């Protein structure tokens, strides 16, 4: 399997890692990933529109935090720069190198 690679301006080989997952249960909806993404990969959506599993088995009377949460809008537009992961305070994003399509 050959992975997608590129060259930096200086000629060094670089392997991009493309976004494959966003953990919405950890996301706080800060929008940092959206702001740094040079492409149209993310969108902010209302948390109430999601059907997230609650990992909290305690009946403490508290629901999930209200507000917004990030969603993947177009993963095929990702260029693999990983800027989003560098600014995410909760580590919600997963990236992987991709094989060259035959």
Tens-place pLDDT, residues 16-62: 999 999 999 999 999 999 999 999 999 999 988 876 555 545 454 44
Q: What are the residue boundaries of the structural domains of the chain, listed by start?
A: 6-50+66-96
Q: Give the sign of the dihedral formed by CA 51, CA 56, CA 62, CA 64.
A: negative
pTM (predicted TM-score): 0.79
What CATH number has the domain spanning 6-50+66-96?
Answer: 3.30.70.20
């Amino acid at each position: 399997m050959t992975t997608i690679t590129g060259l930096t301006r200086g000629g060094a080989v670089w392997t991009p890692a493309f976004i494959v997952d966003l953990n919405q249960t950890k996301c706080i909806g800060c929008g940092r990933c959206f702001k740094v993404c040079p492409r149209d990969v993310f969108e902010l959506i209302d948390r109430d529109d999601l059907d997230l599993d609650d990992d909290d088995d305690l009946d403490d009377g508290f629901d999930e935090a209200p507000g917004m949460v990030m969603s993947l809008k177009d993963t095929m537009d990702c260029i693999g720069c990983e800027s989003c992961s560098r600014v995410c305070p909760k580590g919600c994003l997963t990236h992987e190198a991709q094989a060259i399509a035959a």
